[in-house]
Amino acid sequence: DAGITQSPRYKITETGRQVTLMCHQTWSHSYMFWYRQDLGHGLRLIYYSAAADITDKGEVPDGYVVSRSKTENFPLTLESATRSQTSVYFCASNGQGAYEQYFGPGTRLTVT
Amino acid sequence: GQQLNQSPQSMFIQEGEDVSMNCTSSSIFNTWLWYKQDPGEGPVLLIALYKAGELTSNGRLTAQFGITRKDSFLNISASIPSDVGIYFCAGLFGGNQFYFGTGTSLTVIP
């Protein structure tokens, strides 16, 4: 029982490339979230989803695209990666009516 | 976005000592969560607080939801080496958006 997984765990890409980070949860949680973690900023919300086909912007959505065709998956796409998007990305989820968020192990992305 | 001020930024303590850290904001939050993060891993939920004044324990950890709803506190009693890590507070503002503090880095000296 994996809970919440992210892939890849590490990724190096070049400026301008498209990159997709994957998130998969096995709890059937309604809500899923993408955060980025940077020194000095803590965790900042990029996008979240309340259910399949429902997504909404967080605090720092520019340059990112999300989709949620299935409840268990919530991919994050950087359409044209920039160096400022070098960061550690975390996916999280929580169930309907619950506020405890559970995090995946993270993806460390480097944009060169 | 909402600002959460977490202090102290870092702590160096002897094994066996108690630890206190806090999180403050200018805004009112409806829920407070406390997380611990080990290097290279995702944050792990420690304690959730839902009501102003609420005091909740999880083993050696105790957290409180401030009565003004603008702050929260986390205490760790009798620290041990495995307590090392970064502790984050998170406050729920509005519907389902959490805002995170910048973390308190804890080092426990054996």
Tell me whether residues B98 and A44 touch, CB distance under 8 A: no
For position A1, what pLDDT does the model report? 58
CA distance B14 to B19: 10
Do B72 and B49 form a contact (C-beta atoms < 8 A)?
Answer: yes
Q: Nearest CA to A109 among A5, A42, A36, A32? A: A36
Residue A90 C-alpha, separation from nearest chain B C-alpha, in angstroms: 7
Q: Write out the two tokens for B75.
A: 């205490």
Does residue A59 register a pLDDT over 70?
yes
Q: Quick: pLDDT tens for A28-39.
A: 899 999 999 998
Tell me whether residues A45 and B98 touch, CB distance under 8 A: yes
Show which of residues 2-41 on chain A sit within 8 Å of chain B, judged by CB atoms: 31, 35, 40-41
Q: pLDDT truncated to tens, each residue of chain B (110 aa)?
A: 677 899 999 999 999 999 999 999 988 998 999 999 998 899 999 999 999 999 999 999 999 999 999 999 999 999 999 999 999 999 987 767 889 998 999 999 99
Nearest to A42 among B41, B48, B100 (CB): B100
For position B94, what pLDDT does the model report? 72
Count of pairs with CB atoms under 8 A, one residue in A, one in B: 54
Tell me which residue has tokens 């389902």. Answer: B96
CA distance A92 to A100: 10
Residue B4 C-alpha, separation from nearest chain A C-alpha, in angstroms: 10
Do A88 and A109 form a contact (C-beta atoms < 8 A)?
Answer: yes
Q: What string of DSSP letters covers B36-99?
A: EE-TTS--EEEEEE-STT-EEEETTEEEEE-TTSSEEEEEE-S--GGG-EEEEEEEEETTTEEE
User: Over chain A, what is the mean pLDDT?
Assistant: 93
A58 touches chain B (CB under 8 A): yes
Tell me whether residues B31 and A101 touch, CB distance under 8 A: no
Give the three-state DSSP class for A42: strand
